[in-house]
Amino acid sequence: MILTALKSGELARIVAIEGGHGLRQNLLLHGISEENTVRMVSSNRGPVVLEINGSTIAIGRGMAKKIIVQK
């Protein structure tokens, strides 16, 4: 399932990132990589807000749709 399908408060593990080198590098700079566990904070409007490794991070919806997760 894609990251944006998660509801607020749900936990999931990132299993794949479907994007090129630039996207992967940008996400890695935010601390987002495969095998990380994330908690959805908000995905209603605007950017997608996640909690990962104790930090809260906002990423664009287009980027979030390229992240595949498993509950």
Residue 34 is part of a domain; what is its CATH number?
2.30.30.90
Range of the domain at 36: 3-70
53 contacts: CB under 8 Å, gap ≥ 6: 31, 36
Tally of domains in the chain? 1
Render pLDDT for 8-19 as a digit per residue (tens, 0 to 9): 999 999 999 998
Chain position carrying tokens 């950017």: 47
Position 43 pLDDT exceeds 90? no
Mean per-residue pLDDT for 29-36? 90
Q: What is the pLDDT of residue 55?
A: 92
Residues 15, 50: contact at Cβ < 8 Å?
Answer: no
Mean per-residue pLDDT for 41-47? 87
- From CA 18, how far away is CA 68, in angstroms rounded? 8
Position 46 pLDDT exceeds 90? no
Position 45 pLDDT exceeds 90? no
